Chain A
Amino acid sequence: GENVEQHPSTLSVQEGDSAVIKCTYSDSASNYFPWYKQELGKGPQLIIDIRSNVGEKKDQRIAVTLNKTAKHFSLHITETQPEDSAVYFCATDNTDKLIFGTGTRLQVFP
């Protein structure tokens, strides 16, 4: 079945720096790649997604890139702020369900 690997598991950055989280997947038929942010005490919230017909999508300080040939996609956060601190999950679709990565705990230090 589909396997999604996410790296790194933890990431610490200084406020204002950029953060990059990368996911790789195994099923070449995957077409939908969302990223979720989970803050303490809350459920995961969709922050950005990309479909396989585009290679990059940007929304203010966050962007996602997709390389279908290499089967990996990445989340980029620029000008990080303390409120970006959370756990981030990537996911991909597989036979009508989402398969999630193991999560990355991002800490942004002021």
Chain B
Amino acid sequence: ETGVTQTPRHLVMGMTNKKSLKCEQHLGHNAMYWYKQSAKKPLELMFVYNFKEQTENNSVPSRFSPECPNSSHLFLHLHTLQPEDSALYLCASSQDGRRETQYFGPGTRLLVL
């Protein structure tokens, strides 16, 4: 266990649904990240939060909406997704938002029908 948990582990949703992914870290870190992992592509950084403030939005479509209520919790709200959004969504945390070791959760496997 890395100290980063994600729920749900698997999610199937239709294009008109609204769902949320949850991430929680128990490491006392101040920075949290959302990544998208698709087959045969590098990990794509989506969002970065440092001390609850969003410091990076990597040109992510507005159908993905992050929320960071505190340094331990991170959400990704999903609405009107497309089939090409199907992927593994990984959450990570680090001591701060600089070039430090990141610890990943197990991911949420998302399938959009």
Contacts and interface: CB of A to CB of B under 8 A. Distances in A.
Interface of A: 4, 31-32, 34, 36, 41-46, 49, 89, 93, 96-103
Given A97-B45, A100-B42, A46 B101 contact: yes
A93 B106 contact: no
Contacts of B99: 31-32, 93, 96, 98
Nearest to A89: B43
Contact of A43 (B2, B41, B55, B98): B2
Contacts of B81: none
Interface size class of B (residues with CB under 8 A): 20 to 34
Nearest to B88: A43
The CB with the most chain B CB atoms within 10 A, among A89, A99, A100, is that of: A100
The CB with the most chain B CB atoms within 10 A, among A89, A96, A101, is that of: A96
B41 A102 contact: yes
A40 to B, nearest CB: 11
A101 to B, nearest CB: 6
A32 B101 CA distance: 9
Given A49-B101, A96-B97, A43 B106 contact: yes
Given A45-B104, A89-B43, 14 more contacts: A4-B42, A31-B99, A43-B6, A44-B90, A44-B104, A89-B42, A93-B99, A96-B55, A96-B98, A96-B99, A97-B56, A99-B42, A102-B40, A102-B41
B105 A43 contact: yes
Nearest to A101: B42
User: Which 7 pairs, one residue from A and one from B, show the smallest C-beta to C-beta distance?
Assistant: A43-B104, A93-B99, A100-B43, A100-B42, A32-B99, A44-B104, A43-B106
